[in-house]
Amino acid sequence: MSKPKVVVLGAGYAGLVATRRLTQKLSADEAEIVLINKHNYHYESTWLHEVAAGTINPNQARFMLTDAVNPKRVRLIYDTVTEVNRDEQRVILDNSEVSYDYLVFALGFVSNTFGIPGMDEHAFAITDIDSSRHIAEHIEYQFAQYSTDENKNDDQLTILVGGGGFTGIEFVGELAEKVPELCQKYDIDRSKARIINVEAAPSILPVFDDDLVSYAKKALEDRGVEFRIGAPIKECTEEGFIVGDDKELIKAGTVVWTGGVTGNPVLAKSGYELFKGKVNVGPDLRPEGEENVFILGDCSWTLDQETGRPYPPTGQLATQEGAQVAENIAALINNQPIQDFVYSNKGTVASLGLSDGIGNVLNGNKLRGKSAAAMKKVVDDRSLFLVGGPKVLLKKGKFRPF
């Protein structure tokens, strides 16, 4: 009898951790393992706001897949998944097709603009290395062009960020580092460059207590970030955002949407029933009616059994799901019982630039300032270790002092 084929879609947090763990759990005689990813590298999605602001080099946030998995053990396919034919157990790629016995669906997130007119056309989004690098290049180009322009328009130096959730706030924190550097490089008066965050809700970062939110807001304001809170963006045009019921136009040279994410559209193309863009999975991370498919990370909703609410989509969750699914696939192949997924929340930290941050960590402890920033680097390095191993951590880790 031929050995079972396990196919993993996506080399992000969930997919890469699942692949690495599968190679530890199953010998080459027990299963064939295939990892399919758009690129030949993994990127740390959780570092993309830094790439987008230009505070880190894109190469620091990525590493080659061959640095993390042995290509003699795992068949690596660099191609784009377009659809999964679930009836025939085949994955359709741009350039070929691959059959599977077990499937791990971990294709991550895309930006969600909620149908806001003009947002897809006129705003940038932080979704992968290329889109993030493009934002950093665009911002620098605005400053360079302004510096040589005879008829200067100060709006060109405004950076508008739509959405004051984690991504939006961490991004403006990085911009507060980068903008003074760009002003110095291009001989521009710092007061001419504006960073504006626009948030519809009454507060930024609703996950945190009021005192941490106030700390974050003031820390960013002190470094030149402006906030428009309780200001829903109604439309995005070539010139900027149209905000609120009175349809005020805020003009900018750079417009970035960080107002939300949703699951990969390949889910819909593969015929899954979606809830807010993702698939509901059971406690074993399988969608209803499929014994050999696991949907992980930002592609699924996993319910917290205690509260009955889905866990927020995070790298932390995706990493833990990847590890559990590898255990369960190995168990299925060896005719052993499988275990339900149990999430272990290690806390939440948001950076506010290089040396500032806020966080809730284990035992309900709150962090702010340098201690939170240091904790964020520990979290980032731990994540790098889990997805890439010790060699990748040594090459790409965040060891710089601040």
Catalytic residue list: 170
**For the window 36-55, what string marks contact with ligand FAD as x by the rule CB under 6 A?**
xxxx--x--xx-xx------
Question: In what helix (H) or strand (E) does residue 173 lie, and over which residues does it extend?
Answer: helix 166-185
Could you tell me the two tokens for 378? 């520990």
Beta 41-43 vs 62-64: how paired, if at all? antiparallel
Q: Is 259 in the site for ligand FAD (CB under 6 A)?
A: no
Q: Least distance (Å) from ligand NAD to the CB of residue 126?
A: 8
**Comparison of 71 and 312: residue with beta carbon closer to ligand NAD:** 312
Binding partner of residue 297 among ligand FAD, ligand NAD, none, CB under 5 to 8 Å per kind?
ligand FAD
**Comparison of 38 and 152: residue with beta carbon closer to ligand FAD:** 38
Q: Where are the alpha helices (DSSP H) in 28-152?
A: 48-53, 119-122, 129-148
Residues composing the chain: 402
Could you tell me the two tokens for 11? 């080399």
User: Phi/psi class of residue 247: alpha, beta or left (left: φ > 0; alpha: ψ in -120 to 50)?
Assistant: left
- Contacting ligand NAD within 255-284 (CB under 6 A): 258-261
**For the window 208-237, what string marks contact with ligand NAD as x by the rule CB under 6 A?**
------------------------xx----
Q: Which stretch binds ligand FAD (CB under 6 A): 22-30, 311-319, 356-364, 394-402?
A: 311-319
What is the DSSP annotation of 234-275? EEE-SSEEEETTTTEEEE-SEEEE-S-EEE-THHHHTT---B
Residue 393 near residue 378 (C-beta atoms within 8 A): no
Supply angle C-alpha 332, 338, 340, rounded to 5.
Answer: 145
Q: Is 324 in the site for ligand FAD (CB under 6 A)?
A: no
Beta bridge partners of 400: none
Tell which one of 170, 177, 356, 380 touches ligand NAD (CB under 6 A): 170
**Comparison of 50 and 327: residue with beta carbon closer to ligand NAD:** 50
Binding partner of residue 124 among ligand NAD, ligand FAD, none, CB under 5 to 8 Å per kind?
none
Phi, psi of 38 (to 5 degrees): -55, -40
Beta bridge partners of 229: 199
Rounded CA separation 227/399 (Å): 31
Q: Which stretch binds ligand NAD (CB under 6 A): 17-25, 211-219, 306-314, 360-368?
A: 306-314
Q: Is 107 in the site for ligand FAD (CB under 6 A)?
A: yes
Q: Which stretch binds ligand NAD (CB under 6 A): 87-95, 166-174, 268-276, 320-328?
A: 166-174
Q: Is 350 in the site for ligand NAD (CB under 6 A)?
A: yes
Question: In what helix (H) or strand (E) does residue 112 lie, and over which residues does it extend?
Answer: none
Q: Is 321 in the site for ligand NAD (CB under 6 A)?
A: no
Binding partner of residue 196 among ligand NAD, ligand FAD, none, CB under 5 to 8 Å per kind?
none
- Per-residue burial over 227-259, b if 16 or more Cβ lie within 10 Å, else e, is bbeebbbbebbeebbbbbeeeeebbbbbbbbbb
Q: Is 302 in the site for ligand NAD (CB under 6 A)?
A: no
Could you tell me the two tokens for 82? 């377009």
Binding partner of residue 163 among ligand FAD, ligand NAD, none, CB under 5 to 8 Å per kind?
ligand NAD
Measured on CA atoms in the order 85, 267, 347, 55, is the torsion positive or negative?
positive
**Comparison of 134 and 152: residue with beta carbon closer to ligand FAD:** 134
**Comparison of 28 and 378: residue with beta carbon closer to ligand FAD:** 378
**Comparison of 12 and 164: residue with beta carbon closer to ligand NAD:** 164
Tell which one of 297, 353, 357, 388 touches ligand FAD (CB under 6 A): 297
Contacting positions for ligand FAD (CB under 6 A): 10-15, 36-39, 42, 45-46, 48-49, 80-81, 106-109, 126, 128, 167, 264, 266, 297-298, 313-316, 318
